[in-house]
Amino acid sequence: MSKTTPIQLPAVPSDLTPEWLGAKLGHKIKSVENTRNIWGTGSKLFYTITYEEECGGERPTYVCVKGVFDPKMIEAQPWTVSLAQREAEFFSKIAPTLEHMTFPKGWWSGTSEKQGIAVMEDLTEAGCTFAPEVASYSVGQVKDGVEQLAGLHAQYWGQSQGDHPWIWNNYDPAMTFMCSFWDEIVRVPGRPQIPAYLMDGNRCNEALKRYYAERNPRFRTLLHGDTHVGNVYFTGEGRIGFLDWSAFHFGSCFHDIVYHMTAMLSVADRRAHEMEILDHYLDTLHKLGGPRFDRHNDPEVMIEYRRSFMTNVIWLIVPDGLQSPKRVAVLCERTVAAYDDHQVIEAILNASKPGD
């Protein structure tokens, strides 16, 4: 799998020729058929490949090519290029090392100054299914998800950008920028209703700023970063897999856990089972080589856990068009319930600042 390329990568779908794909896959291709497309900040173009001749070795018939293939979008939203580059880097630099996670098989990936492309398996043709816009899942399925996240976290436990300089934190700045429009967004007619204390943009932005600044380094590891229901799929055997690796960065382990749990479970199930799920995560983390944490006797565990629900802030202020109104409404409701239950804003703002 190639990691980088100095030449220009395809910028529009017509650039994805049989010759280009053949060169990347290492086999001569007779023809490719573009069967369907999913357009977005990271577009997915699906192809069926016919090869020139039979040969040995593993090669795909159905592929998904993910990148930014809309020049107008790049012009209007240039940050989408960095997301495509980050996902391509995941498949070249991170995916080959992961031992305990399910994610799409990558066939080739590469980056250039203006593009990032990942050629991966077509999950639909592999028998996988995807979450609908609105859904709730079982405690067992969420435990499967946190087991895999525990594997990722254990493998990179205690590491940081200092150990991997190329993994710069693209997540915190993006969220900080989006939340700067808080007061404007939450008052748009038709937006989900939220409590009065979450209508105060200045206060909520201060909580976000402090959360990012005051994360406990005891819990630092590599994160998937965006583990909500729209970024999971289900294998034919019913296992959870994780999609969209454009937001991986170093942060608090509980970011991935609470974000996944809040999005996947109904409010009632999250309230009834979240400590059971948290304990399962902590046990699995230790079994897979991470540290052992005891939430009953180590107060820093629950402090960091509660504060990490700040990560769900996206569902309160997500701009129109990035997610469906149905999904935003449901996940906003689940986020507000978690904020209420854990007094997230207060837990952050009422804490002593480091050095006080």
Q: What is the CATH number of the domain that holds 275?
A: 3.90.1200.10
User: 100 and 152: one domain?
Assistant: no
- 134 and 89 in a common domain: no
Point out the domain boundary residue: 81, 104, 121.
121
Do residue 98 and residue 171 come from a single domain?
no
Residue 176 has pLDDT above 50, yes or no: yes
Number of structural domains in the chain:
2
Q: Is residue 168 part of a domain?
A: yes
Q: Is 199 exposed, middle or buried (0-12, 13-18, 19+ CB in 10 A)?
A: middle
Do 158 and 222 reside in the same domain of the chain? yes
Same domain, 258 and 331: yes
Q: What is the pLDDT of residues 229-254, one digit of tens each?
A: 999 999 999 999 999 999 999 999 99
Q: What is the pLDDT of residues 55-104, one digit of tens each?
A: 667 899 999 999 999 888 788 778 889 999 999 999 999 999 999 999 99
* Domain presence at residue 238: yes
Quick check: is 6 in a domain? no
296 and 257 together in one domain: yes
Assess whether 213 and 70 both reside in one domain. Answer: no
pTM given for the model: 0.93
166 within domain boundaries: yes
Q: Are 120 and 107 in contact (CB under 8 A)?
A: yes
pLDDT surpassing 90 at residue 188? yes
> Which contacts qualify for 155-162: CB closer than 8 Å, 24 or more apart?
155/97, 155/98, 155/99, 155/100, 155/222, 155/288, 155/289, 156/221, 156/222, 156/250, 157/221, 157/285, 157/289, 157/290, 157/291, 158/220, 158/221, 159/220, 159/221, 159/222, 159/250, 160/220, 160/250, 161/250
Helix axes 299-307, 253-264, angle to 10 degrees: 60
Span 126-134, average pLDDT = 93
Does 317 reside within a domain?
yes
Tokens 């996206």 -> residue:
314
The reply to whether 155 falls in a domain is yes
Report how far residue 240's alpha carbon sits from residue 253's, in angstroms, rounded to the nearest whole number: 19
| Residue 2 pLDDT level (bands cut at 50, 70, 90) | very low
Residue 354 lies inside a defined structural domain of this protein: no
pLDDT > 80? residue 174 = yes
- Among residues 67, 97, 121, the one where a domain terminates is 121
Asked if 224 and 325 sit in the same domain, the reply is yes
Q: Are residues 104 and 205 in the same domain?
A: no
What CATH number does the domain containing 44 carry?
3.30.200.20
On the question of pLDDT at 49 being above 70, the answer is yes
Give yes or no: residues 335 and 303 share one domain: yes
Task: Based on the fold, state whether residues 227 and 98 are members of the same structural domain.
Answer: no
Residues 107 and 239 in one domain: no
Supply 90's token pair. Answer: 């995941």
Residue that terminates a domain, selected from 77, 102, 121: 121
Query: Could you read off the pLDDT of 300-345 as tens digits, one per residue?
Result: 999 999 999 999 999 999 988 788 999 999 999 999 999 999 999 9
Domain encompassing residue 86: 13-121
Is residue 2 included in any domain, yes or no?
no
